Structure 1
Amino acid sequence: MSGARIEIALEGSALRATLGTLAGRLGEPAERADLHDAIGALLADGVQRRFIAAQDPDGTPWVESERAKAGARGGRTLTDTGRLQHSITWSVEADGVLVGTNVEYAAIHQFGGEIEQSARTQVLAFDGQGRFAARKSTRRRKTGSVPIAIAQIGARRITLPARPFLGIDAEDRLGLAGVMQDWLEAALP
């Protein structure tokens, strides 16, 4: 082999024993489970931070949704019912950790894309002053019937911008370094 080479012999040293202990701990999946669990918790917390800050892992603010601009239902982008935000979880695997969600519409928000809605008929309900109150509501209120209208809504295509919420940001990287350091230090004699 050409080039430069430095060889360090660790035979009989305490450093060799310590490195052997660390290598053993890294090599056993059962030994890594607590590390993976701590990493999963840290990364899931990072996703929650991004929901609150309404920004992607690079720190870029999300494109504000029309609902948020209007101040409707809480007025926060990607937070209508909170289902997506509160579905973030992690799973410890033999060789790592998975962080994500099982919510079916998560991918369209993470990556963006188009949604096609077919034409439909919808029932619209109005309040006592003739203002729009709700969709699909024909229930009776204490004061009487709720005025309703039947609306024909044409087919449409909606383009949703990507609003990445999964990923690793700078704060996560610092936290990961701390978690790894703590885990490795716990293995030292």
Structure 2
Amino acid sequence: MFAEMGEELLSIHRIRFLQQQSPDGTPWQPLSEEYKQSKRKNRDKILTLDGHLSETLRYQASNDGVEFGSDRVYAAIHHFGGSIQPKTAHALHVGGRFFKNVTIPARPWLGISEKDQAEMLNIARHHIKNAIKPSNA
């Protein structure tokens, strides 16, 4: 059951990246024009330069549940937003320019909508129904 839920979550999030929207259906905040023009590819795609974030989505199913997400350290800042400051250099190099800090707006991408939650419940119902079905022995 939980493996099936994990596969469904992968599908949901692949679609979400294509639609560029949050779990509640809100479109992600657009890229700044300056950053969009500096991208060498996928200029029309938000949260996608090489596709690493969406490709790192994984699930771990067990008898007790399913864990889902990405192990990329930058996944959280793209979801919640925040400011980045250089650790060792004097400035960050973004889009051919230097900045003292860069603010990334929140673009919620991880999570489930009410519709997705209903689908998870349908998967559970299906498995429970099959588990309690009387055998034809």
Pick the aligned partner of 2:42 from 74, 86, 91: 74
Rate the CA distance shift 1:121–1:70 in 2: closer, same or farther, 3 A: closer
* Structural mapping, 1:1-189, within 5 Å: 35-66=1-32, 69-70=36-37, 72=39, 73-75=41-43, 76-117=45-86, 118-119=89-90, 154-187=98-131, 188-189=133-134
Aligned length: 127
Q: Is the radius of gyration larger for structure 1 or structure 2?
A: 1
Distance 1:168 1:121 in 2: 34
TM-score of the pair, normalised by structure 2: 0.80
One-letter code aligned to 2:72: V
User: Per residue, is there more strand in 1 or in 2?
Assistant: 1
What's the counterpart of residue 138 of structure 1?
none
CA RMSD of aligned residues (A): 2.5
Which consecutive residues of structure 1, in runs of 5 or more, have no partner in the other structure?
1-34, 123-133, 136-152
Please report how far the alpha carbon of residue 120 of structure 1 lies from its aligned counterpart in structure 2 after TM superposition.
Answer: 5.6
Question: What secondary structure, in the 3-state scheme, does the structure 2 residue paired with 1:74 have?
Answer: coil
Distance 2:4 2:42 in 1: 32
Please report how far the alpha carbon of residue 171 of structure 1 lies from its aligned counterpart in structure 2 after TM superposition.
Answer: 3.2
Please report how far the alpha carbon of residue 43 of structure 1 lies from its aligned counterpart in structure 2 after TM superposition.
Answer: 1.4
Rate the CA distance shift 1:42–1:65 in 2: closer, same or farther, 3 A: same
Whether contact under 8 Å (2:80, 2:107) holds in the other structure is: yes
Off by >2 Å, runs of 4+ in structure 1: 66-72, 117-122
Please report how far the alpha carbon of residue 173 of structure 1 lies from its aligned counterpart in structure 2 after TM superposition.
Answer: 2.1
One-letter code aligned to 1:74: N
1:124-144: CA deviation from partner (whole Å, max 9, x where unpaired): xxxxxxxxxx98xxxxxxxxx
Question: What secondary structure, in the 3-state scheme, does the structure 1 residue paired with 2:67 have?
Answer: strand
Whether contact under 8 Å (1:39, 1:97) holds in the other structure is: yes
Rate the CA distance shift 1:63–1:38 in 2: closer, same or farther, 3 A: same
Identity of aligned residues (%): 31
